[in-house]
Structure 1
């Protein structure tokens, strides 16, 4: 899905985590980059249902989630599991960087 290579993703991860100590701070750095660069809202399909991604946040267990809406119903979906539409929204390289970091 990504057009970025491993080295380019590693460069993004380094940019997001340069001042971070430990996994929690690194995740927060990546979340900050997602908040700043991911162009929302965008629509995608989750389990065959069209949803609108309006933002990102942290789940109670500390994972990064996409804040998905369908009508008035909001559902956080783990960003590692979020299928992206084609073409992907601007800033989607940060999702790929997070996936690389978490992998």
Structure 2
């Protein structure tokens, strides 16, 4: 059973500053998504463990798809699965740099 997401861990003002930092000099949505990908890749402490569909998985890296979706590359045993970073359950406590995912979520309107 999933616990309710904790809200307001980071203030809207703080997340807006991160959004501004990630999207500076980006001219369209694709470039802005690329900016978020760069910030997440640079700042998210990897690897970390979390649970997906009840299974313990290791998030070893992040990637960006041709459609500009940021995904977490999750490994369980010999299986590897790309999961949209916005759908990825965060462990408690979240890894260092997880505020960039929160900023990306806010930018996406979620």
The answer to whether the aligner puts 1:64 opposite 2:70 as a matched pair is yes
Superposition misfits of 4+ residues, deviation over 6 angstroms: none
User: Out of 87, 90, 97, which is 1:84 matched to?
Assistant: 90
User: Out of 27, 37, 45, which is 1:21 matched to?
Assistant: 27
**Displacement of 1:60:** 3.7
2-structure distance, mates of 1:40, 1:70: 15
User: Any unmatched runs of 5+ in structure 2?
Assistant: 1-5
**Displacement of 1:58:** 1.2
**1:30-41 correspondence to structure 2 within 5 Å:** 30-41=36-47
1-structure distance, mates of 2:59, 2:30: 24
* SS of match in other structure, 1:86: coil
TM-score normalised over the length of structure 1? 0.95
Query: CA offsets, 1:43-62, max 9 Å, x none?
Result: 00011111000011012432
* SS of match in other structure, 2:96: coil
User: Any unmatched runs of 5+ in structure 1?
Assistant: none
Aligned length: 103
2-structure distance, mates of 1:61, 1:54: 21
* SS of match in other structure, 1:99: helix
TM-score normalised over the length of structure 2? 0.89
